[in-house]
């Protein structure tokens, strides 16, 4: 175990304090190492696999935060401006999208920190690997949060107009009222700075165990250790420079503060629920598998899907409730039913090399290696039906991966079959390319999830397509998945609307279930706050 003084300090800071007496029902406690659902209850191999996935995520989030800091440096004048000069709408968009992206990264890092923070209860003598990995991920997430959080708090603090703007509720960016105020309070809280000092001390004591367990042979683990040192140096510098002023402004002592267990922008109950959701529901989406399979009968090739898994976003850094979009391509049998018999499709196929009779014949001839992958069942024995851009790249996936999630919406482009056949062909062409963690819509070499949908249906000389406008996010043009649903909502009552409603499976976190939602409830989803746990 940790040396007694450090253990006592860490437990005192990491354990959530009792809920205030005014709260009707105490929040569910954070899972402990003894809890059968804790990540520490996994077998060693499964635990290390999860730790490696989370380590990769920490690296991604750290790079994302650095990219945001670079974007901010280009617009620093907005943050230093005299506060009696109003911001223009474009300037407000830049500030809000940057802040929304920061919120995403912070909350996602906090999820990982909470998942592993019970490492203090895992013996360093008998469970060395779990103890050491748990510390690295907990402290690595914390130092990243603090280095960037204190930098952002220092830049924005005391700017009255800016603080009001960032603290107002914003449906467009998925920000509830008071988000920025809570962020400041947590970012400069005495508990987190004390954890920083305690963790830095323990990191030095843990060096022999890092070598013994072989963790130092993992490239990303070495990167994380270096990152912790660098981020800790930045955070300590901020605390030494302005610590007294910041803490005097922050408010109550940790022992009196009911929000001590959360750091960034969400309230304590949400932060606890975040950790609970991703520990207790690992591999257990709210939508049941039978609901997913039943939905297949209503799907058609070319449908556009939006998907969400609570607290496990594929588009961290983009605003809005819906984080992910996919293209439903269906099966060759679906193409025979919905596409191949259409006169427009037949005429188009005649213009292609070899004049194929069917879309399947064309794609099998044009992309033989991809065709072999597409026609092979997925790991669950299901036929591949989806092309989506995920962290592994633009991939063929089955319904278990692409549709067995917490929330799922399906829209159908109001286009002739030949355009859907062309869109599927475009998607096949893009399959296999890496995921675009920079969200650069002007590059085809890497693609983010919405970019795949956007470019598959992009209007061209021979294709009406689907017209979806890009938006500015933190100073660059891109497309959050939420924008597709907002477009659907805005055009719904118009005769020239581009998308029709197919289905909506609406997650119910408290019931651990999902229900069928109607078109009106789906239209409103783009307005949902991203981090809201009370989705009724």
DSSP, collapsed to helix, strand or coil, labels residue 414 as coil
Angle between helix 417-430 and 343-350 (nearest 10): 50
The residue-averaged pLDDT of 153-165 equals 84
Using a 10 angstrom Cβ sphere, with 0-12 exposed, 13-18 middle and 19 or more buried, the burial of residue 400 is middle
Q: In sequence order, what are the residues at sequence separation of 6 or more whose Cβ sits closer than 8 angstroms to the Cβ of residue 217?
A: none
Q: How confident is the model at residue 441 (pLDDT cuts 50, 70, 90)?
A: low
pTM score of the predicted model: 0.65
Distance from C-alpha of 396 to C-alpha of 375, rounded to nearest angstrom = 10
| CATH of the structural domain 289-527, one choice from 3.90.1560.10, 3.40.50.970, 3.90.1720.10, 3.30.200.20 | 3.90.1720.10
Q: Give me the pLDDT at residue 393, please.
A: 84
CB 33 within 8 A of CB 121: yes
Q: How confident is the model at residue 318 (pLDDT cuts 50, 70, 90)?
A: low
| 27 compared with 6, residue with greater pLDDT | 6
What pairs with residue 304 in β-bridges? Answer: 327, 411
Listed by start position, the domains of the chain span 53-280, 289-527
Most trustworthy range by pLDDT among 73-87, 302-316, 342-356, 385-399: 342-356
Tokens of 261: 């267990």
| Residue environment code for 334-354, b if the CB has 16+ CB neighbours within 10 A, otherwise e | bbeebbbeeeebeebbeeeee
From 9, 187, 221, select the one nearest 103 (Cα to Cα).
187
| 431 compared with 270, residue with greater pLDDT | 431
| 347 compared with 284, residue with greater pLDDT | 347
Angle between helix 179-187 and 89-116 (nearest 10): 50
Q: How confident is the model at residue 15 (pLDDT cuts 50, 70, 90)?
A: very low
| 459 compared with 323, residue with greater pLDDT | 459
Q: Give me the pLDDT at residue 178, please.
A: 81
Q: Give every strand in the sheet of 386-390, ordered side by side.
A: 393-397, 386-390, 324-328, 304-308, 407-413, 499-508, 513-516
From 496, 352, 483, select the one nearest 413 (Cα to Cα).
496
* Percent of the chain's residues with pLDDT above 70: 78
Instruction: For residue range 107-142, list pLDDT tens digits in order.
Output: 788 888 888 988 888 888 888 999 999 999 999 999
Q: How confident is the model at residue 437 (pLDDT cuts 50, 70, 90)?
A: low
Q: Is the pLDDT of residue 355 over 90?
A: yes
Gyration radius from the chain CA atoms: 24
Q: Give me the pLDDT at residue 261, please.
A: 33
Tokens of 300: 């058609």
Instruction: For residue range 257-266, list pLDDT tens digits in order.
Output: 333 333 323 3
CA distance to 26, 306, 432, 445, per residue, from 31 (Å): 14, 31, 38, 42
Distance from C-alpha of 70 to C-alpha of 315, rounded to nearest angstrom = 19
Q: Give me the pLDDT at residue 515, please.
A: 95
């Amino acid at each position: 175990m940790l040396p007694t003084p450090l253990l006592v300090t860490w437990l005192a800071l990491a354990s959530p304090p009792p809920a205030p007496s005014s709260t009707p029902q105490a929040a569910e406690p954070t899972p402990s190492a003894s809890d059968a659902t804790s990540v520490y209850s996994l077998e060693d191999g499964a635990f290390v696999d999860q730790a490696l996935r989370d380590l990769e995520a920490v690296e991604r989030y750290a790079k994302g935060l650095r990219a945001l800091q670079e974007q901010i440096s280009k617009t620093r004048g907005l943050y230093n401006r005299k506060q009696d000069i109003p911001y223009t709408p474009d300037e407000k968009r830049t500030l809000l999208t940057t802040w929304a992206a920061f919120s995403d990264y912070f909350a996602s890092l906090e999820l990982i920190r909470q998942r592993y923070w019970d490492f203090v209860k895992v013996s360093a003598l008998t469970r060395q690997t779990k103890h050491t990995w748990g510390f690295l991920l907990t402290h690595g997430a914390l130092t990243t949060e603090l280095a960037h959080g204190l930098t952002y708090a220092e830049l924005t603090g005391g700017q009255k107009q800016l603080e009001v703007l960032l603290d107002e509720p914003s449906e467009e960016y998925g920000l509830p009222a008071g988000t920025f105020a809570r962020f400041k309070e947590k970012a400069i809280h005495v508990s987190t700075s004390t954890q920083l000092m305690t963790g830095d001390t323990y990191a030095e004591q843990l060096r022999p165990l890092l070598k013994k367990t072989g963790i130092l042979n993992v490239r990303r683990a070495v990167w994380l250790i270096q990152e912790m040192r660098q981020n800790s140096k930045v955070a300590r510098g901020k605390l030494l420079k302005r610590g007294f002023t910041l803490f005097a402004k922050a408010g109550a002592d940790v022992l009196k503060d009911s929000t001590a267990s959360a750091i960034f922008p969400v309230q304590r109950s949400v932060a606890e629920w975040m950790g609970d959701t991703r520990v207790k529901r690992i591999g257990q989406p709210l939508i049941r598998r039978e609901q997913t399979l039943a939905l297949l009968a209503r799907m058609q090739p070319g449908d556009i899907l939006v998907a969400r898994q609570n607290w496990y976003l594929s588009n961290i850094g983009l605003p809005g409730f819906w984080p992910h979009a996919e293209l439903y391509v269906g099966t060759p049998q679906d193409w025979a039913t919905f596409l191949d018999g259409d006169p427009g499709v037949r005429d188009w196929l005649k213009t292609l090399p070899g004049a194929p009779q069917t879309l399947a014949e064309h794609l099998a001839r044009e992309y033989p290696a991809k065709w072999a992958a597409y026609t092979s069942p997925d790991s669950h024995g299901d036929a591949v039906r989806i092309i989506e851009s995920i962290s592994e790249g633009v991939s063929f996936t089955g319904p278990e991966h692409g549709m067995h999630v917490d929330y799922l919406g399906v829209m159908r482009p109001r286009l002739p079959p030949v355009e859907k056949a062309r869109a599927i062909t475009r998607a096949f062409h893009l399959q296999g390319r890496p995921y675009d963690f920079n969200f650069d819509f002007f590059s085809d070499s890497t693609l983010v999830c919405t970019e795949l949908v956007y470019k598959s249906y992009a209007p061209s000389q021979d294709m009406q397509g689907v017209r979806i406008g890009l938006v500015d996010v933190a100073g660059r043009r891109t497309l959050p998945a939420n924008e597709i649903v907002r477009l659907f909502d805005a055009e719904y009552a118009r005769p020239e609307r581009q998308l029709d409603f197919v289905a909506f499976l609406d997650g119910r976190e408290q019931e651990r279930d999902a229900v069928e939602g109607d078109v009106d409830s789906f239209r409103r989803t783009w307005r949902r706050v991203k981090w809201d746990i009370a989705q009724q």
